């Protein structure tokens, strides 16, 4: 089957061919005709299988057909929501590449950068907006964007948006959109929460799931290396040098951990940079550009920042730390082995992470074969430490605790260490107000992925932190509390029925 057989115009088929694609992937072959029929769609597929083209191509086709009779300045007729800046930039780049021969204008909208250039672009008129929820709501509140003409709404990476706590922002956005529109919900994983969201957002949708939920691509070789926690960096450097790896995406659990690992690898003679929510947008863009160009050997990332990293033929992904949320493992290794290419996913597992490894094995229904490298044998005398209340809290001192600055809300419950006898309960502490000259959004929001305001602040970071930390302006918590920026691991997301209709939503605590 070719793209022309899916009902796409010659201009779109030409643009797709110039990007090097001739045959649609399974998700594209099913999604494109379904969207062109004009109905709502719930679509799920493994990451890296072409979901972006699965909705951008029919979106461009439909807007081009209906826009031929629309004179004057373009109005926003299609809205794509994504959880992260990198993913928003990637999707909008795809829109421009595929729509290069069409008379349609698009723009990307996220925080961490000035809002005025975005306002000027909106004034000139755009047909398609790809945005993160926080910055979009900034424009809505300032009345710099008109969403009354939106015909098509796309929620991309919907599972991650729920994990990051964007459901409240999504609800606000839905309230300002026209009630009559086409809705598309795309997700790498199909959880029960996603289905609940779809039940209330979508109107009699077509449903596509091209693979069993929470599966990993067969083209990715997955390997586990047991190693002592203090020797992980040494083992990583050994693997990179021994196998002469030149493009490696490395995942850490915390922002501070990413910074520290990148600095240490650079001192070891291996070029490395970190990318996470506390980095400025220019630094994130520069690191990603160097990595894509092949001039940067290792890119060290947190889970949230890595969403949207789409690199053709990325050969290696390394889990320096296993994720707390098993579904994140699927997303991580989905950065390699994309579009049918082969890839390799390495996990460095210490004694602290045996429970996390079992959770992943249960999720993907696969048992990992573990390989012990000579010279890196595990010391059996080392005792496991609680991840959330132990090592992660220490990592938070660099401003990078938590799981990449957001996400989670689900995860394994960790044992709680005994509180010091002199420690008072968190609620007994006196409230501290932020400084009056603090930037909009507050210090506790700094570095969030959706990027509200100049500082890139977001609702995500604020929801991920304990309330006591928000009140204190983002200061590190007491030893009895979670690490700075870390999600509460035992909380379940609020029922979707309450958030998207019916009873009012309960305020997160």
Which residue has better confidence, 289 or 396?
289
Could you give the CA distance from residue 230 to residue 254 in angstroms, rounded to a whole number? 16
Domains of the chain, by residue range, sit at 3-209, 220-364, 397-417+433-497
Q: Are 83 and 167 in contact (CB under 8 A)?
A: no
Common-topology check for domains 3-209 and 220-364: yes
Burial 260-275 (b: 16+ CB within 10 A, else e): bbbebbeeeebebbbb
CA distances from 388 to 69, 139, 293, 403, 470 (A): 57, 36, 36, 10, 19
Q: Are 309 and 335 in contact (CB under 8 A)?
A: yes
- Confidence class of residue 348 from pLDDT cuts 50, 70 and 90? very high
pLDDT of residue 507: 38
Q: Mean pLDDT: which of 34-43, 322-331, 398-407 is highest?
A: 34-43
- Confidence class of residue 212 from pLDDT cuts 50, 70 and 90? low
Superfamily of domain 220-364, CATH level 4: P-loop containing nucleotide triphosphate hydrolases (3.40.50.300)
Please determine, for residue 12, whether its predicted confidence score (pLDDT) is greater than 50. Answer: yes
Please determine, for residue 221, whether its predicted confidence score (pLDDT) is greater than 60. Answer: yes
Order of strands, sheet of 343-349, starting from the edge strand that comes earlier in the sequence: 220-226, 343-349, 316-319, 248-251, 298-301, 272-275
Which residue has better confidence, 217 or 486?
217
- Confidence class of residue 213 from pLDDT cuts 50, 70 and 90? low
Q: Are 336 and 343 in contact (CB under 8 A)?
A: yes
- Confidence class of residue 284 from pLDDT cuts 50, 70 and 90? confident
Give the mean pLDDT of 429-442.
Answer: 42
Please determine, for residue 183, whether its predicted confidence score (pLDDT) is greater than 90. Answer: yes
Could you give the CA distance from residue 495 to residue 505 in angstroms, rounded to a whole number? 8
Closest CA to 482 of 400, 388, 404, 352: 388
Which residue has better confidence, 504 or 65?
65
Provide DSSP, 102-132: SS--EEEE-SSS-SHHHHHHHHH--SEEEE-
CA distances from 385 to 228, 252, 473 (A): 12, 17, 29
Q: Are 30 and 210 in contact (CB under 8 A)?
A: yes
DSSP state of 269: T
- Confidence class of residue 59 from pLDDT cuts 50, 70 and 90? very high
| Pick from 32-36, 146-150, 282-286: least confident | 282-286
Q: Are 478 and 426 in contact (CB under 8 A)?
A: yes
Give the mean pLDDT of 105-111.
Answer: 95
Please determine, for residue 216, whether its predicted confidence score (pLDDT) is greater than 70. Answer: no
Which residue has better confidence, 507 or 295?
295
Mean of all residue pLDDT scores within the chain: 77
What residues form DSSP beta bridges with 182?
152
3-209: CATH architecture: 3-Layer(aba) Sandwich (3.40)
**The tokens of 456 are what?**
């890139």
For 183, residues 6+ apart whose C-beta sits below 8 A from its C-beta are: 40, 41, 152, 153, 154, 155, 201, 202, 203, 205
For 372, residues 6+ apart whose C-beta sits below 8 A from its C-beta are: 225, 226, 378
């Amino acid at each position: 089957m070719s793209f022309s057989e899916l009902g796409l115009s010659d201009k779109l088929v030409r643009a797709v061919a110039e990007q090097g694609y001739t045959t649609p992937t399974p998700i594209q072959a099913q999604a494109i005709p379904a969207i062109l029929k004009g109905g709502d769609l719930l679509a799920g597929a493994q990451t890296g299988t072409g979901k972006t083209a699965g909705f951008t191509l029919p979106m461009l086709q439909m807007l081009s057909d209906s826009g031929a009779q629309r004179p004057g300045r373009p109005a926003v007729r299609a809205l794509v929501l994504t959880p992260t800046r990198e993913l928003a930039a990637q999707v909008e780049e795809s829109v421009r590449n595929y729509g290069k021969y069409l008379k349609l204008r698009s723009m990307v909208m996220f925080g961490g950068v000035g809002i005025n250039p975005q306002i000027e672009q909106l004034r000139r008129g755009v047909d398609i907006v790809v945005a993160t929820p926080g910055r979009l709501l900034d424009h809505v509140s300032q009345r710099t964007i008109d969403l009354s003409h939106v015909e098509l709404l796309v929620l991309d990476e919907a599972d991650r948006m729920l994990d990051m706590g964007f459901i409240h922002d999504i609800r606000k956005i839905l309230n300002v959109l026209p009630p009559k529109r086409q809705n598309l919900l795309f997700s790498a994983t199909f959880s029960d929460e996603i289905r609940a969201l779809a039940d209330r957002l979508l109107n009699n949708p077509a449903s596509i799931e091209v693979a069993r939920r929470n599966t990993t691509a067969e083209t990715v070789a997955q390997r586990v290396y047991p190693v002592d926690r203090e020797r992980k960096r040494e083992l990583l450097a050994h693997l990179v040098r021994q196998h002469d790896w030149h493009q490696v995406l490395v995942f850490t659990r915390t922002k501070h951990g990413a910074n520290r690992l990148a600095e240490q690898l650079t001192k070891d003679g291996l070029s490395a940079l970190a990318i996470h929510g506390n980095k400025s947008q220019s630094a994130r863009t520069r690191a990603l550009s160097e990595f894509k160009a092949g001039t940067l050997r290792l890119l060290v990332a947190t889970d949230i920042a890595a969403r949207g990293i789409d690199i053709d033929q990325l050969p290696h992904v390394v889990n320096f730390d296993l994720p707390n949320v098993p579904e994140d493992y699927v997303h991580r290794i989905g950065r390699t082995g994309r579009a049918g290419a082969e890839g390799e996913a390495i996990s460095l597992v210490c004694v602290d992470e045996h429970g996390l490894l079992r959770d992943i094995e249960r999720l993907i229904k696969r048992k990992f074969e573990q390989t012990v490298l000579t010279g890196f044998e595990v010391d059996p005398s080392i005792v496991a430490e609680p991840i959330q209340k132990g090592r992660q809290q220490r990592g938070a001192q660099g401003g990078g605790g938590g799981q990449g600055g957001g996400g989670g809300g689900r995860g394994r419950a960790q044992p709680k260490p005994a509180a010091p006898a002199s420690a008072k309960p968190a609620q007994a502490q006196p409230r501290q107000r932020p400084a009056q000259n603090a930037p909009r959004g507050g210090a506790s929001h700094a570095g969030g992925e959706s990027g509200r305001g100049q500082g890139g602040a977001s609702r995500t970071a604020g929801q991920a932190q304990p309330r006591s930390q928000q009140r204190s302006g983002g200061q590190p918590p007491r030893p009895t509390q979670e690490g700075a920026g870390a999600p509460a691991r035992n909380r379940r997301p609020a029922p979707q029925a309450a958030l998207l209709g019916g009873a009012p939503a309960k305020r997160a605590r």
